[in-house]
Structure 1
Amino acid sequence: MDKLFNNRGMIWLLLAVNIPGTIYGYIWYGNQLAYTASHYPGWLLPFVPDSPTASLFFTLALIFMLYPPKTVAGVTTRALIEALAVVTSVKYGIWAVSIIVAGGYQGGPVDWQDWMLMISHTGMAVEALLYARYFICRKMIPVALLWTLLNDTVDYSYGVYPWLPATLEDDVLQIQLFTIGLTLISSLAAWLASRDVRLRRQRTER
């Protein structure tokens, strides 16, 4: 399996899927970004498109696999991006599927776009967990955890969380608690799925 996931052709294939998906994700958030720009301070805009930004982090992480940086600053940046990629992709992948299912359970419509989103977001979480073991992100996972908690705080303090199905608009507090809990679980999953770089080197040298 290591040869498969480390294969450059496989990584390019994932990029061919993730790059258009990331672009589409930002387009999907277009209306909310425009609304936020008109009604909120501009500094809140980066906190709006959660899932596309997670996909962007993962896309950058794949590029770092293809072209590993050599400098200390580059390696540190790579580790941070990879940590953010795993934590946020797992978190928002599960979050989006859960929200769509919860909205449908409470009587909201679930159309073909919702099914498409559930499939794509499940893929986000799965690919992040699969590739975590090939990343050098473990030491940066606490930083990614803090960033994601900050994002949660901003989302629910200023009301810029992703727009919810109409059936869930009276459940914001419960969703906030679920979101924060999911951040903690996703960070733990990222930690467990990743490998200690030193141990990896020791096994390679044997």
Structure 2
Amino acid sequence: MDQYYYWIQNKAFLIFIILCNLLGTIYGYYWYMGQLKETEWYFTPFVPDSPTATLFLVIALIAIVLNKHFKIVECLAFITLIKYGVWAVVMNIFTFLELGEITGIGVMLCISHAIMAIQALLFFPLFKIEIKHLLMTAVWVFHNDVIDYVYMQYPVYSMLSQYIQHIGYFSFWLTVFCFSLLYLLIKKNITFD
């Protein structure tokens, strides 16, 4: 455990993680370029969910390296990293089942998105999130769910489009789970102070 405390608070390690996530964020936005070209401008911020989640983490960690805290960004990072990390892993496994085969790109997406969710838990003790930040973050995340599944701006998985109502339902409860988890962690007051 001492090694964990050392690495998680080590600025050189945090800078390395920031750079890795920055590269992943850039790649993620590139991945969405095709869909974004067909998206109305006012929906654009709500389409590339995963790279926006990693962007929140990059901003939060840069602030921590500079001995600052952007608490709302930390909250957004935690919730969206878990939500979209888990969501993408489940969707890719579902895609494997639909296709009847496991694809290399699908495995890469499962691994990279699982890492997103793990990072939320890994860095949580560095965050200074308060209950009030849950409420502000809920506005963004539930609004994003409405944009995704009412206005149909969700990340495109064409082979799963026939299941969109089920995916929207799963996404809603995944959001509830993420907020419940964060609420419990805040109540336990897990920090390095």
Instruction: Tell me, yes or no, whether TM beats 0.5.
Output: yes
CA distance in 2 between counterparts of 1:176 and 1:187 reads 17
- In structure 1, list runs of 5 or more residues that go unmatched: 70-74
Deviation at 1:195, TM superposition (A): 6.5
Q: Does 1:13 align with 2:16?
A: yes
Residue 43 (structure 2) pairs with residue 51 (structure 1): no
Corresponding residue number in structure 2 for 1:158: 151
| Residue pair 2:26, 2:51 contacting (<8 A) in 1 also | yes
**After TM superposition, where is structure 1 displaced by more than 4 Å over at least 4 residues in a row?**
194-197
Specify the alignment match of 1:179 in structure 2.
171
- SS of equivalent residue, structure 1 residue 171: helix
Superposition deviation, residue 154 in structure 1: 1.1
Q: Aligned equivalents of 1:44 and 1:148: distance in 2?
A: 14
Instruction: Give the corresponding residue for 1:72.
Output: none
Are 2:135 and 1:142 aligned? yes
> 5+ unaligned residues in a row in structure 2: which ranges?
none
Alignment of 1:79-158 (within 5 A): 79-107=71-99, 109-139=101-131, 140-158=133-151
| Alpha-carbon distance in structure 2 between the residues aligned to 1:46 and 1:66 | 26
Is residue 87–residue 145 contact of structure 1 (8 Å, CA) maintained in 2?
A: no
* Aligned residue number for residue 34 of structure 2: 31
Per-residue CA deviations over 1:83-127 (Å, capped at 9, x if unaligned) read 000000000000000001011112355321111111110000001
SS in structure 1 opposite 2:83? Answer: helix
Which letter maps to 1:143? M
CA distance change for structure 1 residues 193 and 13 in 2, over 3 Å: closer, same or farther? farther
CA separation in 2, counterparts of 1:63 and 1:121? 21
RMSD, matched Cα: 1.9
Which AA in structure 2 matches 1:34?
K
Q: Is the 8 A contact 2:96 2:103 kept in 1?
A: no
TM-score (norm 1): 0.85
Larger Rg: 1
CA distance in 1, matches of 2:165, 2:100: 19
Aligned 8 A contact 1:154 1:160 in 2:
yes
Q: In 2, distance between residues paired with 1:134 and 1:117?
A: 26
TM-score (norm 2): 0.91
